[in-house]
Chains A and B, each alone.
Chain A
Amino acid sequence: MLLFLLIFLSFAQVGIFGLGGDVSAQAFLEHEVVTLHHWLTPQQFADVMAFSRALPGGTGLNASTLSAYTAAHAAWGLQGAVCATLVGTAGLVMPSMAWTAALRKIQLTESTRSLYNCVMVLLRPLTPGLMAAAAILLMKADNFSSWETSPWQFGVSIFLFVATVVGVSFYRINAVFMVFLCGIAGWLLL
């Protein structure tokens, strides 16, 4: 039962504090799931991201479903794993409901507005930092291979990584198409 509570609290934390949109909230999820509890490897997390491009739901929801499933599957089998995914989803939905209730009620007065501005001056620049952290947490030998094990795969990985950043940021190539192209390159080269 402790595991269910752990899953619930982990995902609730993401729902409460995960500010700055999907990508930056992903840093919170990666920290909980990959760094802290080891429910998923960085490689599995990157694979969920790749699969999520072709499935509904988005990376955040899909990665939490998968991590809750794998966390509970070893101990409780299929039924426990399905329960864990439901607990995890509840952990994500309940903070969202709390925020909804709070945002409907709160009205900013003069003094709270200036306090709010003081906090946002510090939190707004945090968003790109969280996104960078989400990328750094996945830059592991798992996903890129390494110079020692396979120089060829490492080189190709770095090339595909740079090609994606340049292609999507500066040449406005469609993101899904870019992932698909890199997958084809994987077929041919790796």
Chain B
Amino acid sequence: MPLNLFSLFMTFLKAGGLTIGDGYATVTPLRQALVTQNHWLSEEAFEEQLSVVQAMPGFFAINLPVYMGHHLMGWRGTLGAAAGMLTPPLIIFIVLASCFNTLREQFMIDSFLRGARPAVVGLIVCACLKSWRRSGIVLSTVWIPVGAALTIGLLGVSPTLIVLGLTVAGLLYGILVLNDK
């Protein structure tokens, strides 16, 4: 397909918006569509874009169409790709939201969810363990994750404040060290 606003929209709709699972599940169908089928991107370019998207703050499912759309067609591409990727989940959850609480109270669904709730919380802990192993935490930095988890989780401090605080601390330290040299 030639690259235009409509084909971009349809590609992200089919490969992104209709793929079941979280944002990361869309990577394989999108690679298939963008690289193999349409040759809009080379394999290396796709991987390069992907690594930037993964480092961006915010949610993957939103950053991916915004960033890749911009790479392909500028801001119009962002609009087309994001519309394609976000429309299906948006419609599904607007419909679901209108009957969410009645749905949850159905007997079969209610007892299913009672078992599933501890499991989804467990999955967050799994992600946490995995990222703990990867992030190379040493004794001098272990206070950062432990302190953050306790203050956000138990005291209700805003994580935004913690990120801002650490950024300012890092900048101050950097500026002082740089000035000394």
Q: Hey, which bits of chain A sit against chain B, CB under 8 A? A: 13-28, 31, 35-36, 43-44, 46-47, 49-62, 65-66, 69-70, 73, 78, 81-82, 85, 89, 92-93, 95-97, 99-100, 103-104, 111, 114-115, 117-139, 143-144, 153, 156-158, 160-165, 168-169, 175-176, 178-187, 189-190
Residues of chain B lying within 8 A (CB to CB) of residue A165: 122, 125-126, 129
Per-residue A-contact encoding for B32-65, CB less than 8 Å = 1, 0 else: 0000000000000000000010101111111100
Q: Enumerate the 5 nearest inter-chain pairs by beta-carbon distance, A residue then B residue, closest first.
A: A186-B115, A57-B89, A136-B153, A129-B145, A164-B122
Residues of chain B lying within 8 A (CB to CB) of residue A73: 97
Partner of B61, one of A61, A115, A123: A61
Partner of A93, one of B66, B123, B135, B147: B66
Q: A118-B171, A182-B119 are in contact. Are A27 and B152 (CB under 8 A)?
A: yes
16 A-B contacts, Cβ less than 8 Å apart? A13-B160, A17-B160, A56-B21, A58-B61, A60-B59, A65-B89, A85-B90, A125-B145, A126-B145, A127-B131, A127-B135, A128-B129, A128-B135, A132-B149, A160-B118, A179-B119
Residues of chain A lying within 8 A (CB to CB) of residue B111: 186-187, 190
Chain B interface size band reads 35 or more
Q: Which residue of B lies closest to A63 (CB)?
A: B93
The total of interchain contacts (Cβ-Cβ below 8 angstroms) comes to 355
Per-residue A-contact encoding for B146-179, CB less than 8 Å = 1, 0 else: 1111001110101110111011011101110110
Residues of chain B lying within 8 A (CB to CB) of residue A51: 96
Residue B98 at the chain A interface, CB threshold 8 Å: yes
* Complex Cα spacing A102 to B132, Å: 29
Task: Looking at the assembled complex, report how far the CB atom of A30 sits from the nearest CB atom of chain B, in whole angstroms.
Answer: 9
Q: Which residue of A lies closest to B162 (CB)?
A: A126
Q: Is the CB of B166 within 8 A of A123?
A: yes
Q: Hey, which bits of chain B sit against chain A, CB under 8 A? A: 17-24, 52, 54, 56-63, 66-67, 70, 75, 78, 82, 86, 88-90, 92-94, 96-98, 100, 104, 108, 111-132, 135-137, 141-142, 144-149, 152-154, 156, 158-160, 162-164, 166-167, 169-171, 173-175, 177-178
